[in-house]
């Protein structure tokens, strides 16, 4: 910890997965607040290591076992990180303070507030509560307790003799939003407003002056009319019906996001068919935090937001939404260490479901994280996309990032001092950074900045399309049969669905017939209405890879790398003739023994060896006379033999891969 003491941090994720959840009912926040009416004096208490005062049944202790490298240890008291700890502790506190909670104090999870209509009554109530806590051997943290206050913050509200009012912290993030000074700043603010526009009457009219400023040819001239529009929209965001009181019978929704400037979150609930805001949260990042990678920043946003809304979320199941796709496996990170491990341990105490949604649909939290900040920020990302599924044919558009695996390319780009600043900003936003932001970078980085619009992100990797050839081709459509390993690689000018569908029919179906199954990546061209209808008409079962699932469509990835590696040896200096070398590459690939099958693709498909240019040196092959029906019979027998041999080789290759993968896997067993 910061004070030098040790923090116990045990990974109980696997144990929590198989634990039957304790559904102990929590009190309604509004009922709790209503009970405070008429009070004049307030004190709030914070327990110290309260969990460690709860003993574990002897027969259950072994379930908490952990290793430190010095043997196996188990807890005698309730540790942090168990999913049922909050409900257990709530039950304990209500039992300890039973009989006092209606007049002397209120308890909500780990928060205790002592009230009193007079100073003497307040003193008596403090004494009663202390006696109960002492009897239960529960200790307080003096630094976190507040005594004899006329006004306190409790459960997201400000409590005083005048009644209950909304805590300014709930709306501070919007109230203190600085006036935008650039189009980028203004678009961030309008992104938040647009998300809740259905709640704001005459939204279009109110926001019109601001929208005019975002027009491409408009000068950024902030007028009095813009100021009025800006203030009216802020006021609309912090009043009903956008902002509403929490309802304990509805599920909480927490949207989080991180950016260069800071982290932000919006807590809401679905009332009827609409999402209504409970509270906002934002926080600027400190200098060390601005150096975090994107994954760590996004995780920081989740941890800080959940801690900020602790009194709403603790002990309840809620929905956590993020635009960072890898967090769907947040609690499955393997062997987390250091800060990440501590953060994940904190999150284990909460019951939530993670949902990913695209950044374009994440405008409420995204805007909160992008409040204007004068300081430049740098970060990186760590994402890997590998897919695996065996079907009859695999289809993939080949681009330059396929020369190596995504993780290899990404690692190299993050280590490149010229590319890394561009990659970091591209991961964060598609908007081109200003010259002021990029000016401190190296000349090489500035050259990449000038090419911003031609750079694209795919699976966390920054890439440019293949150079346009003299024939106008920019991409390669790769098709491959999973059994024979027979490839086709067709140069195409674009990735439009109509182009891909036309080439599929021309280059594959017209030659080899209609496949039973067609497996593709997540490209929009393969999932378009046109492509779907084509598969439906031809009776093709269409499947696709799972987005961001940590496995790989290894066969096609290897073919892509092989194509690019070989083309790089023959293309001209300007690289605009790569499409002329593809046919001869395919001839060589189809004539080479494949490691998995032990045969050439041509041998398995046709049961004949393709004649290569070098075979001319050996002259014309001799004629072999045969009867009319003898050749097809012999061909059938040879094909049957080679197919059986290929199947056996593929099976052995699959078993070798499984053995290699299983050797690094760790099993988890619980009784």
% of the chain surpassing 70 pLDDT: 69
Residue 265 has pLDDT above 50, yes or no: yes
Packing angle, helices 578-590 and 554-567, rounded to 10: 120
pLDDT attached to residue 669: 57
Residue 645 has pLDDT above 60, yes or no: yes
Packing angle, helices 420-428 and 294-308, rounded to 10: 40
Query: CB burial class (10 A; 0-12, 13-18, 19+) of residue 184?
Result: middle
Q: Where are the alpha helices (DSSP H) in 252-362?
A: 294-308, 310-313, 338-347
Closest to 407 (Cα-Cα) out of 489, 326, 328: 326
What are the counts of helices (DSSP H) followed by strands (DSSP E) for the chain? Answer: 23, 21
Give residue-wise pLDDT tens across range 467-488. Answer: 788 888 888 888 888 888 888 9
pLDDT attached to residue 74: 92
R_g (Cα) of the chain, nearest Å = 32
Strand order from edge to edge, sheet including 475-481: 487-492, 475-481, 393-398, 517-520, 541-544
Give residue-wise pLDDT tens across range 386-423. Answer: 222 222 344 444 433 334 556 667 777 877 888 888 88
Q: Compute the distance between CA of residue 492 and CA of residue 523 in angstroms, rounded to an integer.
A: 15
pLDDT attached to residue 399: 36
What are the tokens at 508? 């594959």
Q: Are the C-beta atoms of residues 184 and 259 closer than 8 Å to each other?
A: no
For the chain, the residue count is: 671
Q: Compute the distance between CA of residue 484 and CA of residue 649 in angstroms, rounded to an integer.
A: 12
Give residue-wise pLDDT tens across range 71-122. Answer: 889 999 988 888 888 888 888 888 898 888 767 888 876 678 898 889 999 9
Going along the chain from its start, the domains and CATH numbers come out as: 12-149 (3.30.70.270), 166-239 (3.30.70.270), 252-361 (3.30.420.10), 406-453 (no CATH), 475-510+549-618 (no CATH)
What would the mean pLDDT of 546-565 be, rounded to a whole number?
Answer: 62
Banded pLDDT at 549 (limits 50, 70, 90): very low
Say how many CA atoms lie within 13 Å of 619 toward its Cβ: 3
Banded pLDDT at 129 (limits 50, 70, 90): very high
End-to-end CA distance of the chain: 33
Banded pLDDT at 179 (limits 50, 70, 90): confident
| Residue whose structure tokens are 């290929």 | 646
Q: Are the C-beta atoms of residues 394 and 515 closer than 8 Å to each other?
A: no
Of 90 and 567, the one with more pLDDT: 90
The contacts of residue 394 (CB under 8 Å, 6+ apart) are: 478, 479, 480, 482, 519, 520, 553, 555, 556
| Residue whose structure tokens are 């092959």 | 621
Q: Is the pTM of this model over 0.85?
A: no
Q: What is the DSSP letter of 506?
A: I
Report in angstroms the alpha-carbon separations of 122 from 113, 134, 164, 165, 489: 11, 18, 19, 22, 82
Q: Compute the distance between CA of residue 416 and CA of residue 447 in angstroms, rounded to an integer.
A: 14
pLDDT attached to residue 381: 31
Q: What is the DSSP letter of 77?
A: B
Query: CB burial class (10 A; 0-12, 13-18, 19+) of residue 321?
Result: buried
Give residue-wise pLDDT tens across range 626-640. Answer: 555 565 556 566 556
């Amino acid at each position: 910890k910061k004070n030098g003491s040790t923090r116990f941090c045990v990974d109980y994720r696997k144990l929590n997965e198989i634990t039957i959840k304790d559904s102990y009912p929590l009190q309604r926040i509004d009922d709790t607040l209503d009970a405070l009416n008429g009070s004049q004096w307030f004190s709030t208490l914070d327990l110290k290591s309260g969990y460690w005062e709860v003993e574990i049944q002897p027969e259950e202790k072994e379930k908490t076992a952990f290793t430190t490298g010095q043997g196996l240890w188990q807890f005698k008291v309730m540790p942090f990180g168990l999913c049922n700890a909050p409900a257990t502790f709530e039950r304990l506190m209500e039992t300890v303070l039973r009989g006092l909670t209606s007049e002397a104090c209120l308890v909500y999870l780990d928060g205790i507030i002592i009230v009193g209509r007079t100073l003497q009554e307040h003193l008596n109530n403090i004494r009663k509560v202390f006696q109960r806590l002492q009897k239960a051997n529960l200790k307080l943290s003096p630094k976190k307790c507040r005594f004899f206050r006329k006004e306190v913050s409790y459960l997201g509200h400000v409590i005083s003799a005048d009644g209950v009012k909304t805590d300014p912290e709930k709306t501070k993030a919007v109230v203190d939003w600085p006036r935008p000074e650039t189009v980028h700043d203004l678009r961030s603010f309008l992104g938040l407003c647009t998300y809740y526009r259905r709640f704001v009457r005459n939204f279009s009219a109110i926001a019109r002056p601001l929208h005019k400023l975002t027009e491409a040819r408009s000068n950024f001239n902030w007028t009095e009319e813009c100021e009025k529009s800006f203030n009216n929209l802020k006021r609309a965001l912090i009043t009903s019906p956008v902002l509403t009181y929490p309802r304990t019978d509805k599920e909480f929704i927490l949207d989080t996001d991180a950016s260069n400037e800071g982290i932000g979150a919006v807590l809401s609930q679905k009332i009827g068919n609409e999402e209504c805001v409970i509270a906002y949260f934002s926080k600027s990042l400190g200098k060390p935090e601005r150096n975090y990678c994107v994954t760590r920043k996004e995780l920081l946003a989740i941890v800080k937001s959940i801690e900020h809304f602790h009194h709403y979320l603790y002990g309840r199941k809620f929905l956590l939404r993020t635009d960072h796709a890898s967090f769907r496996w947040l609690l499955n990170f393997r062997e987390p260490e250091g800060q990440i491990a501590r953060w994940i341990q904190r999150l284990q105490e909460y019951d939530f479901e993670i949902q990913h949604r695209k950044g374009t649909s994440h405008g409420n939290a995204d805007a909160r994280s992008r409040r204007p900040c004068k300081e430049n920020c740098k970060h990186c990302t760590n994402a890997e996309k590998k897919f695996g599924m065996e079907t009859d044919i695999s289809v993939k558009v080949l681009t330059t990032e396929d020369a190596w695996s995504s993780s290899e390319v990404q690692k190299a780009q993050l280590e490149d001092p010229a590319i890394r600043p561009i990659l970091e900003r591209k991961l964060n936003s598609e908007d081109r950074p200003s010259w002021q932001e990029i000016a401190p970078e190296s000349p090489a980085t500035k050259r990449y900045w000038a090419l911003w619009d031609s750079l694209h992100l795919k699976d966390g990797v920054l890439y440019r399309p293949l150079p346009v050839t003299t024939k106008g081709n920019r991409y390669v459509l790769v098709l491959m049969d999973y059994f024979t390993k027979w490839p086709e690689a067709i140069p195409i000018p674009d990735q439009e669905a109509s182009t891909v569908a036309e080439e599929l029919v021309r280059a594959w179906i017209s030659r080899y017939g209609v496949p039973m199954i067609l497996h593709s990546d997540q490209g929009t061209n393969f999932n378009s209405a046109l492509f779907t209808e084509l598969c439906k008409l031809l009776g093709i079962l269409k499947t696709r890879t799972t987005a961001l699932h940590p496995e790989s469509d290894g066969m096609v990835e290897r073919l892509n790398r092989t194509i690019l590696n070989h083309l790089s040896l023959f293309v001209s200096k300007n690289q605009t003739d790569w499409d002329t070398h593809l046919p001869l590459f395919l001839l060589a690939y189809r004539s080479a023994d494949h490691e998995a099958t032990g045969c050439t693709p041509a041998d398995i498909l046709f049961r004949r060896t393709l004649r290569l240019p070098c075979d001319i040196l050996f002259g014309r092959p001799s004629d072999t006379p045969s009867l009319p029906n003898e050749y097809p019979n012999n061909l059938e027998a040879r094909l049957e033999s080679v197919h059986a041999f290929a199947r056996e080789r593929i099976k052995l290759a699959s078993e070798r891969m499984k053995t290699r993968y299983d050797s690094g896997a760790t099993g988890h067993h619980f009784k």
